[in-house]
Amino acid sequence: MERRKFIRNSASSVLAGLLAPSFLQSSSLFANRTGANDKINVGLIGCRSMGWANLSDFLIHPEIDCIALCDVDQHVLSGRAADLVKLRNKKPELYGDYRKMLERKEIDVIIIGTPDHWHCLQMTDACAAGKDVYVEKPIANSIAECDAMVAAAKRHNRVVQVGQQQRSG
């Protein structure tokens, strides 16, 4: 390699290394990042077994606050609200319709623990409402639903995580 080419490439690499941190922090990947001292407000849709198990795992972290629960079964909903008061000494808002819960601006993340035939609609609605999403597996019941979900996450620039615990193989 020629000496001039080596120096030019080295200088470009150093410059790129110096500019990358400031560029990345201003990019959409780092926009709206939660600071170290910030709380992350969570809403749970589907309060039975997997939904509650997922929320319980989230609540291990002190920066997580569950501020809203949603379930179509009022008995389950009130029971889980009481459980949450015991765990965190805070009573969440209760909803029978997840769409009403998604209207709350202060919710950052939605956990979806409903039966799988609801995942696509709830996830795409949550993304459209500006929420990041943790959705339990299976993500959807068809490739078309998966495509719609991926498109919604991209269109609304949301982070989506799919639960993969206890998979075989």
Rounded Cα distance between 128 and 164, Å, is 24
pLDDT at 112: 97
What architecture is the 36-162 domain classified under in CATH? Answer: 3-Layer(aba) Sandwich (3.40)
Rounded Cα distance between 58 and 49, Å, is 14
Q: What is the mean pLDDT of each run of 10 residues along the chain (169 residues)?
A: 58 46 45 69 95 94 96 96 94 97 97 94 98 93 95 97 75
pLDDT at 24: 43
Q: What is the pLDDT of residues 74-88, one digit of tens each?
A: 999 999 999 999 999
pLDDT at 79: 96
